[in-house]
Amino acid sequence: MKIAVLSGKGGTGKTFVSVNLAAVAGDAMYVDCDVEEPNGHLFFKPGAVKTRQVAVEIPLVDSERCTGCRVCVDFCNYHALAWVGGGVKIFDEICHSCGGCIILCPEKALTGKEKVIGQVQRGKSEAVTVLSGMLNPGIPSGVPIIKELLKGTEEKERVFIDCPPGSACIVMETVAAADYCILVTEPTVFGVHNLNMVWELVTLLGKPCGVVINKFVETENPAEKYCAEKEIDVIGRIPFDAELGLLNSNALIAVREKAKYGRLFGDLLARITGEVWL
Amino acid sequence: MKIAIPVNAKSMESAICQSFGRAPYYLFYDGEEGTSEFKENSACASQGGAGIKAAQLIVDEKADVLLTPRCGENAAQVLRGAGVKMYKTMNDSIRENIQAFKEGKLSELRDIHPGHHRG
Ligand code: SF4
Ligand code: SF4
């Protein structure tokens, strides 16, 4: 089973929840798909790390063959190509590597050249296999790295995917691969606004989901009310707890430090496993 | 001499648009004839390099100069590549800026911001 952990914005506790769930599950996999700011590995501090580069193809123009028909320039949806001073100019950092221009050029003047956009790291932390994707700065899309990460998720029974924040197309990629989605939110009005965005996304993709309320203080709160209205299950409530906050800000994994947090996340894991196998 | 300006509406009385790449229209003003023509920016709501597409339009219309409050690095590369000179507008009035340009009162655009697009 693949569990995607999402939140409408960063800093809600998405990494905290996915890291602790994977750690409490033991023989599991943690996959950090937040490729612009991966930080799960800071908690797991995995050993025996292997790194693999991820490359995409971007077009390269052979000016001898190019006749200036501009088919490629007009085609590119991302406007990564321009016709300037009698030649095709390619903006590498805008190109999304769709490959369309290379196929369409009637003169075969465009060919693909490899460009490294980031890397995938794989290591071990106790029984947990830790996979992290890292996107180089200035690269327009991390989707190829996420695809590479998700390829590695078939081998484990329990996989926890730490998704990128927000609800952009890169998030769709990770949600589409999941069997169940955990939506992490804070109990505030602002939290609910972001929760609604991700809820719409997972519902659109037809995925079952449940909400985890982080920094929970009292039962009467906007997140609880929202979930009741939309008939979304609240599968976990993580109390506002200074000790928990401290462990987290010191990049320690709470369930490995204190038995009571092990029980908290163990219960959450049992609940999720129950939901998925229903 | 053909002058291009990003504008908010198809009128000489409209304001100059604060964004070059995301402007809804471009005014092409012929300095000799005193005629003006407005072109729609098909890329104003698009993803990716809207500035590049906009710069392509300016180049294809064979403008000699662009008067704009700001411009991104990618667009500037296209414009420079085609020899279009860029000048900084002083306020949002189309007529006042054309006049100022003719009198040589506008300075060259220097603050080119880095183009950053994630999709
Ligand atoms: S499609 Fe091919 S021949 Fe036509 S402008 Fe592009 S590179 Fe040149
Ligand atoms: S590969 Fe696709 S995105 Fe890249 S320049 Fe060609 S058409 Fe544009």
Q: Are B23 and B71 in contact (CB under 8 A)?
A: no
One-letter amino acid of B90:
M
Q: Are A180 and A209 in contact (CB under 8 A)?
A: yes
| Mean pLDDT confidence for B57-77 | 94
Phi/psi zone of residue A10: left (φ > 0), alpha (ψ -120 to 50 degrees), beta?
beta
Min Cα separation B63/chain A (Å)? 13
Q: Where in chain A is the domain with CATH 3.30.70.20?
A: 63-108
Task: Note the ipTM here.
Answer: 0.79
What percent of chain A is predicted at pLDDT more than 90? 77
H-run or E-run covering B38: strand B36-40
Residue with the two structure tokens 């604060």 = B18
Residues 6+ apart with CB under 8 A from B63: B2, B3, B4, B28, B84
Q: What share of chain A is helix, strand, coil (3-state, %, to 5)?
A: 35, 30, 35
Sign of CA dihedral B45, B48, B49, B53: negative
Q: What is the pLDDT of residue A170?
A: 84
Using CB atoms, pick whichever of B43, B49, B82 lies closest to residue A94.
B49
The whole-angstrom separation of Cα A88 and Cα A90 is 6
> A103-134, pLDDT tens digit by residue?
999 999 999 999 999 999 999 999 999 999 99
Between the alpha carbon of residue A170 and those of residues A38, A142, A192, the distances in Å are 14, 7, 21
Which tokens hold the place of A258?
A: 């204190």
Q: In this structure, which CATH number among 3.30.420.130, 3.20.20.370, 3.40.640.10, 3.40.50.300 belongs to the domain B2-102?
A: 3.30.420.130
Higher pLDDT, A27 or B46: A27
Please determine, for residue A247, whether its predicted confidence score (pLDDT) is greater than 80.
Answer: yes
Q: In this structure, which CATH number among 3.40.710.10, 3.30.450.20, 2.60.40.10, 3.40.50.300 belongs to the domain A2-54+119-276?
A: 3.40.50.300
Helix (H, G, I), strand (E, B) or coil at A276: helix
A153 confidence band (pLDDT: 50, 70, 90): confident
> B16-60, pLDDT tens digit by residue?
999 999 899 999 999 899 999 999 998 776 667 889 999 999 999
Query: Are the Cβ atoms of B50 and A79 closer than 8 angstroms?
Result: yes
Please determine, for residue A140, whether its predicted confidence score (pLDDT) is greater than 90.
Answer: no
Query: Are the Cβ atoms of B119 and A140 closer than 8 angstroms?
Result: yes
| Mean pLDDT confidence for A159-172 | 87
Phi, psi for A213 (deg, rounded to 5)? -95, 120
Please determine, for residue A219, whether its predicted confidence score (pLDDT) is greater than 80.
Answer: no
Would you say the CB of residue A111 lies under 6 angstroms from ligand 1?
Answer: no
Residues 6+ apart with CB under 8 A from B118: A140, A141
Q: What is the pLDDT of residue B115?
A: 60
A220 confidence band (pLDDT: 50, 70, 90): confident
Using CB atoms, pick whichever of A79, A80, A81 lies closest to residue B43.
A79
Whose CA is closest to A131, among A1, A276, A252, A34? Answer: A34
Find which of A5-19, A38-52, A235-249 is predicted with most confidence, using mean pLDDT.
Answer: A38-52
Specify the ligand 1 atom closest to the Cα of A68: 5
**pTM surpassing 0.90?**
no
CA of A144 to the centre of ligand 1 (A): 26
The whole-angstrom separation of Cα A253 and Cα A238 is 15
Phi, psi for A194 (deg, rounded to 5)? -70, -35
Q: What is the pLDDT of residue A278?
A: 54
Mean pLDDT of chain B: 90
Q: Are A35 and A118 in contact (CB under 8 A)?
A: yes
Min Cα separation A12/chain B (Å)? 22
B:24-63 residues touching chain A, CB 8 A cutoff: 43, 46-50, 52-53, 55-56, 59-60
Please determine, for residue A157, whether its predicted confidence score (pLDDT) is greater than 90.
Answer: no
A277 confidence band (pLDDT: 50, 70, 90): low
Which tokens hold the place of B71?
A: 């411009």
A276 confidence band (pLDDT: 50, 70, 90): confident
H-run or E-run covering B62: none
Dihedral of the alpha carbons of A255, A178, A277, A126, in degrees to the nearest 10: -30
Q: What is the pLDDT of residue A179?
A: 93
Q: In this structure, which CATH number among 3.40.50.2300, 3.30.70.20, 3.40.50.20, 3.40.50.300 belongs to the domain A63-108?
A: 3.30.70.20
